[in-house]
Structure 1
């Protein structure tokens, strides 16, 4: 069943996150304020051309695949990230102290966007919180760490936006928030997974300690429609 994560974006857009999706039978995308992600089946050769017809000039998308992708006509590559996909295999006791972790709501979005801009865990906009289950840690009334969920692919739930303010690193906040998310997801009979930059050794070490193992490489392409 792990094969569903071979193309997590399209599979999320047609299953667990279909209520947030737009597009056609073969090409799907999120509203830009939710996520720049767009996707289509791996064997659908007209995917980028159809997506080009659907989206306005200047619209930015994020495309993810395990194998490298040639940039198609009508699109401008803005940034490429080599990443890794991890899937939770369990076997680790969830022992974090969750007493200082609070749910985040629409009233916190401006603070969340500010934290994301500072830490750069990945795309986050005004409606990204609609993916659900965002929680954070506050110090002196200021949001200093958070995480949440993103792509829901049938029985798989992605943990996303794991970030900690640079002034608060080393306090175990990311580990506590991760364990809190693991508890939520596992208790919902889902399998946690996540994506991370291949060169983010600090984060990878945390994920491996928590029981995540590498599933596959993942290439991320930030592109703009011309």
Structure 2
């Protein structure tokens, strides 16, 4: 039997995140202003076709998150494929952290959140990505310089996402503090933290490992558009 995290977007859209998207028996997707992530019950040609027929947009990319290697054929066009790792937290319970107190981010902060993620590229971030919840930020001179939040929420797990720091403020421990705060929050909810990292982002992977995350599996991100 496959692990729930082998298909995290599918299980998220079938449980805690279902209010942020739509699902059928074979495919699912998030609302287009929340996330470009899409999912399949299994990576088959039939389920890819079901997704193509149901997806309500055609002028933007859809990102399929999977541990499988499906063959992408018409009516889909594959733009690219990004290799990554899924990492699960196995560190100490409620790890300690210090540093400046973050602020809860709200809709009023969305323009700054979009600007910071466009600058640092931690992964797809859209105007309503904040609806996944629990976004916190660190400010200096009233300017957002670091943030982190949550994204996929399959039953029993919660993904830490959009961990980023302005290039002028790297090396100050802001990302570490924000990430460990999320670990604490997730553990207090009785769930297990996890995250994703690009396979070639060795610096980030080493940092995550130093904080108690361990690579669980390879994860592939297929960037697709309707042909």
Q: Classify the TM-score, shorter chain.
A: over 0.9
In structure 1, the partner of 2:210 is: 209
Q: After the TM superposition, which segments of 4 or more aligned residues of structure 1 sit over 3 Å from their partners?
A: none
CA distance in 1, matches of 2:59, 2:103: 37
In structure 2, the partner of 1:33 is: 33
- Cα offsets for 1:67-97 (capped at 9, x unmatched): 3332221122223211000001122662212
1:22 partnered with 2:22: yes
In the superposition, the TM-score normalised over structure 2's length comes to: 0.94
Contact persistence 1:34–1:128 (CA under 8 A): yes
- Cα offsets for 1:109-152 (capped at 9, x unmatched): 11001011111110000100000000011111111110100000
In structure 1, the partner of 2:64 is: 63
Q: For residues 43 and 119 of structure 1, do their structure 2 counterparts lie closer, same or farther at Cα, with a shift above 3 Å needed?
A: closer
CA distance in 2, matches of 1:131, 1:41: 22
Contact persistence 2:45–2:71 (CA under 8 A): no
In structure 1, the partner of 2:169 is: 168
Cα offset, 1:203, TM superposition: 1.1
- Measured on the aligned residues, the alpha-carbon RMSD in Å equals 1.6
CA distance in 2, matches of 1:43, 1:165: 37
In structure 2, the partner of 1:136 is: 137
- Cα offsets for 1:129-185 (capped at 9, x unmatched): 000000011111111110100000100000000111111110001100011101100
Unaligned 5+ segments in structure 1 are none
- Cα offsets for 1:10-48 (capped at 9, x unmatched): 111101111112132221101110000111112654111
SS in 2 for 1:116: helix
Unaligned 5+ segments in structure 2 are none
CA distance in 2, matches of 1:172, 1:201: 18
Q: For residues 78 and 151 of structure 1, do their structure 2 counterparts lie closer, same or farther at Cα, with a shift above 3 Å needed?
A: same
Moved more, 15-24 or 186-195: 15-24
In structure 2, the partner of 1:187 is: 188
CA distance in 2, matches of 1:60, 1:46: 20
Contact persistence 1:92–1:210 (CA under 8 A): no
